[in-house]
Amino acid sequence: MQSVLITGANGFIGGHLAEEAKQHNLKVLAGVRQGSNVGSLKDLNIEVVYLNYEDQDQLTAVLKQYKPDYIIHNAGLTRSPSYAQYLKVNRDYLINIVEAIRKSGIPLKKLLFVSSLAAFGPADFQPDHIVRENSMPHPVTQYGKSKLEAENWLKNQSDIPYNIVRPTAVYGPGEKDLLNVFQMVSKGINATAGSGQQQLTLIYVKDLVRLMMLATLTTHTHRAYFGTDGRVYGSGDFPQAIAHSLNKKILSIALPVFIVKIGAWISEGIGKITGKYPTLYVERVNEIKARNWQCDTDNLEKDLQFKPAYTMQQAVDETTSWYKQNKWI
């Protein structure tokens, strides 16, 4: 049986990814840090492997011991007040994993690096208003910049059989960042930032992890894929789908961007006091106020024969049901 080492396997995407990997008859090695909460992995009947991303020798020893056929580097840092910390986790840990692959001498078939659409930023800055593989990246957050730094480094490692996937906004059972939209709609409110229609991209987590496995198992290498469901949504489509699931009528409120910035500033200040960096922070407003997140997904079908299995409404219905069952809304 072939095996796949998934870093960050105890996270939202990582847990779904581990389940998907099992569907492909792969032995799953759940890579987590020492002391991590692995309760969510107990029912999956997979092997937990403890990793020290800062120690190349420890990573090398793990790879020599388990000899995974595939590695999906899904672990990363999405929120931090420190750019140095972003670089340490999102770029330097990738470097350490690649160097460990080399030192271990394992015949790795594929390394999939999970980047982000944030590495390229919104399509607002693109001449044809679509983000493409040959577009000039324009990240608008430090998180996006750190992912771009990691990508640029990896693209120079021609001896490593890698692919890159860049997910857009991801939702689904267990997700916490977009949970606030579900909670808001459950109270009959839909608040947006700025005026005018947005063009948004999204992907349901079950579609994303299937895409990720296809990008891992494909014979193609040194390719990058934008991880969306291939559709473009208006700013009201997602809240309306949630409202339909909850059988709610909603009042839409367009908040001026400066009001959102004030809220983010307050939220970030509280986060610094409590030590928990919030979902809404000042720099995040750069993404919230962007008008266009369209990206080119032609190679998803061409290379991977990927098409989403879920409509937005089907995916939102499943997500809403999970949130209600787990009393998150």
97-100-104-105 Cα dihedral, nearest 10 degrees: 70
The whole-number pLDDT of residue 193 equals 82
Q: Could you give the maximum distance between any two Cα atoms of the chain, in Å?
A: 59
Residue 160 lies in a domain: yes
Q: Is residue 261 part of a domain?
A: no
Q: What is the domain count for the chain? A: 1
HEC secondary structure over the chain: CCEEEEECCCCHHHHHHHHHHHHCCCEEEEEECCCCCCHHHHHHCCEEEECCCCCHHHHHHHHHHHCCCEEEECCCCCCCCCHHHHHHHHHHHHHHHHHHHHHHCCCCCEEEEECCHHHCCCHHHCCCCCECCCCCCCCCCHHHHHHHHHHHHHCCCCCCCEEEEEECEEECCCCCCCHHHHHHHHCCEEEEECCCCCEECEEEHHHHHHHHHHHHHCCCCCEEEEECCCCCEECCHHHHHHHHHHCCCCEEEEECHHHHHHHHHHHHHHHHHHCCCCCCCHHHHHHHCCCECCECCHHHHHHHCCCCCCCHHHHHHHHHHHHHHCCCC
Tell me whether residue 69 is in a domain: yes
In a domain, 178, yes or no: no
Q: Is residue 57 part of a domain?
A: yes
Which residues are CB-neighbours of 127 under 8 A, at least 6 positions away?
none
Predicted local distance difference test score (pLDDT) of residue 107: 96
| Tally of CB atoms within 10 A around 188 | 12
Q: pLDDT at position 282, please?
A: 83
Per-residue model confidence (pLDDT) at position 281: 82
**Cβ contact 135:145 at 8 Å:** no
Q: Check if the beta carbon of residue 90 is closer than 8 Å to that of residue 76.
A: yes
Domain that holds residue 49: 3-171+202-228+294-309
Instruction: Provide the pLDDT for residue 276.
Output: 82
Task: Output the six-digit token pair for 93.
Answer: 């840990």
Whichever domain contains 148, its CATH number is: 3.40.50.720
The reported pLDDT for the residue numbered 123 is 97
d(CA 122, CA 293): 5
Does 56 map to a domain?
A: yes
pTM metric for this prediction: 0.93
Give pLDDT < 50 ranges for the chain. none
Q: Specify the pLDDT at position 152.
A: 98
The per-residue pLDDT for 106 is 97
Strand 189-193 versus strand 251-255 pairing type: parallel
114 with 73: CB under 8 angstroms?
A: yes
Q: Tell whether 132 is covered by a domain.
A: yes
Kind of pairing between the strands at 199-200 and 233-234: antiparallel
For residue 324, being part of any structural domain is answered with no
